[in-house]
Amino acid sequence: MENIFIIIGSIAVAVLAIFIVGYLKYKKINIPSLFTKVESALSTVKNIEAIIKDNTTGKLQIATANAQLITDEALKLVVGAEKKYLAGDIKAEDRKPTVITDLTNFLISNKITIDDNLAKYIDLIVSYAVKKSGMDDTNKQIDAKIAAITKTNNELQQQVSKLSIENSTLQQKLTTVQNTVAPTQNTNTPAPVQK
């Protein structure tokens, strides 16, 4: 059924195109020159775009290059800080400040001045790099596993202390029973049989 609608639609478009071309010829409009004008306009737009792209110098190119540099380095530093954290070299809460400090030092070493706007941008880029690297999700998964392990550990320690108390109680009862049974065994020994 859908094929019928497609065929009918295609026929309707073809008929409409024939009527439009016929009407344009009736009005004496040169159709090939119209297509030529559209084609030349598109090529002019492409030429203007190429000229603008080639002649973009100064602040715009520098800003674009710096933004890409900051993004790439932030991603590398986030991964590095996460590896340091997993190795135990830095604390969890020190990861982001470490990345921001390292990125700022990197930019200063590349002779890029850091003002308040760039500092805010660096903070945002570091947050973006954390999300892009997937470390945020990994940390949540690790924290969930640690919480589960800690809970299990606490439950096991409670069970061990309960069993230790029961063991002590049973040891005391066993000692009491042994002390009670031992003297009675000595007094109830059978006398040797004489022949």
Residue 142 has pLDDT above 70, yes or no: yes
- Mean pLDDT within 12-23: 84
Is 19 or 52 the better-scoring residue by pLDDT? 19
| Nearest CA-CA partner of 121 in 138, 107, 136, 139 | 107
What is the CA angle 4-9-11, rounded to 5? 95
CA dihedral 16, 20, 26, 32 (to 10 degrees): -130
- Give the chain's length: 195
CA distance 75 to 127: 10
Confidence of residue 177 (pLDDT cuts 50, 70, 90): confident
Query: Coil, strand or helix: which one is 88?
Result: coil
pTM exceeds cut of 0.75? no
Does the structure show a pLDDT above 70 at 194? no
Residue 137 has a pLDDT of 59
Is a pLDDT exceeding 80 seen at residue 151? yes
Range with the poorest average pLDDT among 31-35, 92-96, 138-142: 138-142
Q: How far apart are CA 124 and CA 70, in angstroms?
A: 11
Q: What is the residue-averaged pLDDT of the chain?
A: 79
How far is Cα 44 from Cα 40, in angstroms, rounded to an integer? 6
Mean pLDDT calculated for residue range 84-97: 81
132 with 76: CB under 8 angstroms? no
Q: What is the mean pLDDT of residues 67-96?
A: 82
pLDDT tens string 109-138: 888 888 888 888 888 888 887 777 666 556
**Quick one: tokens of 116?**
């308040």
Confidence of residue 103 (pLDDT cuts 50, 70, 90): confident
What is the percentage of the chain residues whose pLDDT exceeds 90? 2
pLDDT in tens, 37-73: 777 777 777 777 666 666 666 666 677 777 777 888 8
